[in-house]
Each structure stands twice: as C-alpha cells, then as structure tokens.
C-alpha cells in the first residue's frame, strides 16, 4: 500500500481508538493525517470506504504483532503458539490498546451500521479459521466442527474480556489469567473427545 494511504489509515485507527467511530469526521482525519480531504475521498470514496479499509488495516496489523517471532528461536510447540497468539491480543501496549479499541468500536458500530457487517463477518471468519488450525495442531484428532466451535468461543471470549479491560472494569493481568483458563477449558473439552487422550 502506498505510504500516503497507510498514513491516512494509521490516523483513522488512532482517531477511532481515541474517540470512537461515531465521532470520526473526514476533515478531522485529514488534519490528523496531514493530507487534504480531497486525497482521502480520492483513495477511499466515502466514510464507509474509510471504515472498511481501517478494519482491514487493523486486522493486518494485529496479524503482524500476534505472529512476530524471533527467527533464530526454536519454533514454539503448538500449545505455546496457541496461548501466545491469543494472549498477545491482551497486552497493555499503545499499539495493542489502540488496535483493540478500534476493533471493538468497529464491532459495536456494526450493530447500527449495516455497511460494515459483511467485512466484519469475513474478518471474524478468517480469525476463527486461523485459531481452529492452531487448536487442531494441539488436538490433532478433534473433529473440525468441534475445533471451529472452540475457536468461535475463544475469539468471542477474547473480545468480551478485551472490552471489559478497555472500559476499565478488568485489570489486564486478570484478563490474561481468565483467557488462559478459557484456553485450558476448551483444550480439556477437546481432549476429552479423543478416546484415551491424557493432558
């Protein structure tokens, strides 16, 4: 993506995380990104276009920080990789906080804005499929529907905990502990479905 459009999407994610989707004005976005409103309309057509591209942008960014690995390190074992991938979304760093707040806002505003629903559903599906694959690496004999169910629950659990953390009702360490417990519970259920499996 061209540097200029990246600059606009970075500014959009920042503004949404700071004040929400509903307060996002194109004039304000232009000022934050240091570009003209004309350039924004040229690249993204309208407000919906901005929101849809911002959703894609924060997804790509989350993909980056949840899969970044030290190339010299040994490949993590599947259970470690599963835990790490989910727990990297619950970190009190400016990047994760901004990304999670923007994602939560886009999810919340899709309740009222049908234009965002399709993209959001597709992005969620991709996330659920990736997590199913990680769960399947830990529980290779679990059925595909059982893995998909566990992945759907764990991603919704993460969103629920993340919103509580961001809205000030849940300390980040407690959120991480609760998430670890959720992963263990789902693995136990998936393990119980494998005859003779022992954790």
28 near its own copies (CB under 8 A): no
Q: Which two tokens stand for residue 149?
A: 């169910």
Which of 10, 41, 153, 194 forms a contact with its own copies (CB under 8 A)?
Answer: 153
64 near its own copies (CB under 8 A): no
Q: Which two tokens stand for residue 158?
A: 């993460």
Nearest to its own copies of 2, 111 (CB atom)? 111
140 near its own copies (CB under 8 A): no
197 near its own copies (CB under 8 A): no
Q: Which two tokens stand for residue 65?
A: 């920080």
Nearest to its own copies of 118, 140 (CB atom)? 118
195 near its own copies (CB under 8 A): no
Q: Which two tokens stand for residue 156?
A: 């919704």
Angle between helical axes of 117-138 and 172-192 (0-180°, round to 10): 60
111 near its own copies (CB under 8 A): yes
Only one of the segments 25-33, 37-45, 52-60, 153-161 lies at the binding site for its own copies (rule: CB under 8 A); that segment is 153-161
Q: Which residues contact 105 (CB under 8 A, 6 or more apart)?
A: 16, 17, 20, 21
189 near its own copies (CB under 8 A): yes
Q: How near is the Cβ of 36 to its own copies at its closest, in Å?
A: 27
Is residue 67 within 8 Å of 85, Cβ to Cβ? Answer: yes
Return the SS3 of 72: coil
Distance CA 125, CA 144 (A): 14
27 near its own copies (CB under 8 A): no
Helix (H) or strand (E) holding 144: helix 144-166
Output the CA torsion sign for 38, 41, 47, 52.
negative
Nearest to its own copies of 15, 33 (CB atom)? 15
Distance CA 151, CA 135 (A): 8
Nearest to its own copies of 108, 137 (CB atom)? 108
CA 37 to chain CA centroid, nearest Å: 28
Contacts with its own copies, residue ranges (CB under 8 A): 18-20, 22-23, 101, 104-105, 107-112, 114, 116-117, 120-121, 124, 149, 152-153, 155-161, 163-164, 166-170, 177-178, 181-182, 184-186, 188-189, 192
């Amino acid at each position: 993506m061209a540097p200029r459009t990246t600059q606009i999407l970075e500014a959009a994610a920042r503004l949404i995380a700071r004040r929400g989707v509903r307060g996002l004005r194109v004039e304000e976005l232009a000022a934050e990104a240091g570009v003209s409103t004309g350039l924004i309309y040229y690249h993204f057509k309208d407000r919906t276009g901005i929101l849809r591209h911002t959703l894609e942008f924060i997804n790509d960014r989350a993909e980056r920080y949840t899969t970044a690995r030290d190339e010299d390190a040994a490949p993590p074992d599947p259970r470690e990789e599963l835990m790490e991938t989910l727990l990297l979304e619950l970190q009190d760093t400016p990047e994760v906080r901004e990304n999670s707040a923007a994602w939560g806002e886009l999810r919340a505003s899709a309740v009222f804005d049908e234009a965002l629903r399709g993209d959001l559903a597709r992005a969620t599906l991709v996330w659920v499929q990736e997590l199913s694959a990680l769960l399947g690496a830990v529980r290779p004999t679990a059925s595909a529907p059982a893995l998909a169910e566990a992945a759907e629950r764990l991603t919704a659990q993460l969103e629920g905990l993340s919103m509580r953390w961001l809205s000030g009702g849940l300390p980040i360490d407690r959120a991480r502990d609760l998430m670890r417990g959720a992963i263990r519970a789902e693995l136990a259920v998936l393990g119980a479905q494998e005859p003779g499996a022992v954790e």
